[in-house]
Chain A
Amino acid sequence: MAKQAQALTGLEMRGDGAGRAALLSGRVDTEAAARLWEPLMAEARAAKGLVLDLSKVEAVDTTGATLVLTAEATAGARIEGASPPVLAVLDRVRAALAAPRPKPVPYRFAPITGIGRRVVEAGRNALDAVGFLGELLVVVLATLIRPHRLRFRELLRHLDEAGTRAFGLAVLLGSLLGVILAFQSAIPLRRFGAEIFVPNLVGISLLRELGPLMAGVVLAGRTGSAYAAELGTMTVNEEVAALRIMGIDPMALLVLPRVLAGMLVMPVLSLLLTLAGLIGMAMIMGMLGFPLTTVTQQLAATITLGDLLGGLFKSLFFGLAIAAIGCRAGLGAGRGPRAVGDAATAAVVGGIVAIVLLDGGFAVLYERLGL
């Protein structure tokens, strides 16, 4: 078809001034239009009152018709010699091009209104979040009064998906984290002959901060995003609306099991990650020539049960925040194919920011309490 168009379709210019004419020939189809667009428009801009002679045009498609009609409009040209089938297509496309177009929206650089809009949006989001937490609290209290409302099978499914299936990842990350921390702290401490204190440093860091934080990152990346994607898909497919219409509270059916699962698995993940980190650290200490007994003695002398419990306690809240943020992002998903992706992104980003903020809060709280 391309070769045929090349051979048959052409543009020939005849005459000068007011009598200037463009003679088109052959099939004026998409390929011919692409080839002729620039030269014909250049002629049309140069010669007002151009005659578009279509007497040798065999056929025209809608793209070819757009070319002819755009040249006509540009040059104030007149069309001559078109056959009835060609005229029919031209008329159809002329009507299409004459239809009213959307008014262009002028771009406005408005930083003040932009900031204001974002602040208002952030305020509304914060209010929504408070409302969501309030709804969740009501559902929790209602479930405490009537425990049969909790779907235990759902809870077990989420405990499995968020917990047991993440154990391998937590162990892998924890052990690597312990190895990295031990190596990195051994380098400066060796200069002072103080490598013996590596277990103290790594132990405190893992138990109090890094264990819960890294477990939180795992939960946010793996489970928070999954909650948002799953609930987001249900929202987009109007399954959540269907639940509401059936008189079933989505908070009780969908959110509560997930949030409870998030809260329950977080301390376990945190503990697992911390223990794996300590084992990784012990391996490095062994490579540096320190026996396991020395490492355990150092750890026993430094860390307390309070360090461990403090870390596990705050990880409960990390789990709550991550699961709640994931669920809220999913239930608040908008329309369209990007909605689910946006919800998953919001869940991961929101979850990680939330655990870092919570960790800061707990650091201050523990310091005030002398823990």
Chain B
Amino acid sequence: MTGDAPALLRRPGEAAKPEAPAFGPAVIVAEHLTARFGTNTLFRDVSFAVKRGEVFVILGGSGCGKSTLLKLMIGLVPPAEGTVSILGTDVWSTEGEARLGLLKRIGVMWQQGALFGSQTLLENVIMPLAEHTTLPPAAREEVARAKLGLVGLSEAASRLPSEVSGGMLKRAGIARALALDPAILFLDEPSAGLDPITSAGLDELIRDLSRSLGTTFVVVTHELASILAIGDRCIMLDREAKGMIAEGDPRDLRDHSTHPTVRAFFRREAA
């Protein structure tokens, strides 16, 4: 992932088109995904590909299945139909060591951080390093401090999750997700519940990590400002249509989409 020279060379704010050569080959391929709970179909026949090094946004209104799609992609919720492959591995037909190997190559930042309350931020980041690497203890701590430094939390390393703000919790969640230097980072509603300044800071962090480390980001959000600030490409889900209604550069969708729901979303109009 660190060898992604094109991603490293991308300039700040430079949005790549889906077919732009700046990004590498597809690292996530979702085909004909359907999510169903009982008789309630959340969405059906959703297909897309995420390319190496891009910030890919899944957007849509409340209840359209954004977070379910993310859980389906990372193997937490099984699809009713369809397949997802990450880095060439089918998420739902892989088991044992191969599945563990795949899980080590992805990181997830949960909506509420999901940090372990009894451990300091530093210990939270050390945990996956201790579990999945043979780094010596002193090295683990140094590496974990580097990850916290990457998200601007060096000084808060000794604090418990209950002692930091919501924005810091999200940053710490990113630091923990970065612990094993994953190729792909999934972020569930990173801006939810944050003030605009903190939210903008988090957006900047995501862009910065994407540019400097070449990590691929898959971000679930409905925060318009964030979508336009960080997204290289996006798909939009819709509750009424029970599926995907748009795909492309979010700025293009904002300016040129003729779909009424897409236009309403980007113009903050009542549907």
In the complex, A70→B134 CA distance in Å? 17
A64 in contact with B2 (CB, 8 Å): yes
Minimum C-beta distance from A99 to chain B (A): 4
In the complex, A98→B180 CA distance in Å? 21
Q: Mark B1-16, 1 if CB is under 8 A from A, else 0.
A: 1111100110000000
Kindly identify which residue among A58, A95, A338 contacts B3, using a CB–CB cutoff of 8 Å.
Answer: A58
Minimum C-beta distance from A52 to chain B (A): 16
A62 in contact with B150 (CB, 8 Å): yes
Q: Mark B148-171, 1 if CB is under 8 A from A, else 0.
A: 111010111111111000000000
Give how many A residues have a beta carbon under 8 Å from the other chain's beta carbons: 43
A62 in contact with B154 (CB, 8 Å): no
Kindly identify which residue among A1, A33, A99, A336 contacts B135, using a CB–CB cutoff of 8 Å.
Answer: A33
In the complex, A62→B147 CA distance in Å? 8
A97 in contact with B146 (CB, 8 Å): yes
Q: Can you name the residue of chain A whose Cβ is closest to the Cβ of B144?
A: A66
In the complex, A337→B181 CA distance in Å? 28
Q: Mark A1-20, 1 if CB is under 8 A from B, else 0.
A: 10000000000000000000
Across the A-B interface, how many residue pairs have beta carbons closer than 8 Å? 117
Minimum C-beta distance from B11 to chain A (A): 13
Which of chain B's residues have a CB closer than 8 A to the CB of A34? Answer: 133-135, 139
Kindly identify which residue among A59, A60, A65 contacts B146, using a CB–CB cutoff of 8 Å.
Answer: A65
In the complex, A353→B214 CA distance in Å? 59
Q: Select the stretch in A24-32, A122-130, A174-182, A202-210 that faces chain B.
A: A24-32
Asked if B196 is at the interface of the complex by the 8 Å CB criterion, the answer is no
Which of chain A's residues have a CB closer than 8 A to the CB of B150? Answer: 62, 92-93, 96
Kindly identify which residue among B101, B146, B155, B161 contacts A1, using a CB–CB cutoff of 8 Å.
Answer: B101
Give how many B residues have a beta carbon under 8 Å from the other chain's beta carbons: 41
A62 in contact with B146 (CB, 8 Å): yes
Supposing A60-B2, A85-B8 touch, asked if A101 and B157 sit within 8 A by C-beta, the answer is yes
Asked if A362 is at the interface of the complex by the 8 Å CB criterion, the answer is no
Minimum C-beta distance from A75 to chain B (A): 15
Q: Can you name the residue of chain A whose Cβ is closest to the Cβ of B162?
A: A336
Can you name 18 A-B pairs with beta carbons within 8 Å?
A27-B2, A29-B2, A34-B133, A34-B134, A34-B139, A37-B139, A59-B2, A61-B213, A64-B2, A89-B2, A89-B213, A92-B212, A96-B146, A97-B145, A101-B145, A101-B154, A101-B155, A337-B117
Chain B interface residues toward A at CB < 8 A: 1-5, 8-9, 101, 105, 117-118, 133-136, 139, 142-143, 145-150, 152, 154-162, 178, 180-181, 208, 212-214
> Beyond the given A85-B8, A99-B155, could you list 17 further A-B residue pairs with CB under 8 A, ordered by the A residue number?
A29-B181, A30-B135, A33-B135, A33-B143, A34-B135, A35-B134, A59-B1, A59-B2, A66-B143, A85-B2, A85-B4, A85-B214, A98-B149, A99-B154, A100-B154, A102-B154, A337-B117
Chain A interface residues toward B at CB < 8 A: 1, 27, 29-31, 33-35, 37-38, 58-67, 70, 84-86, 88-89, 91-93, 95-102, 105, 334-338
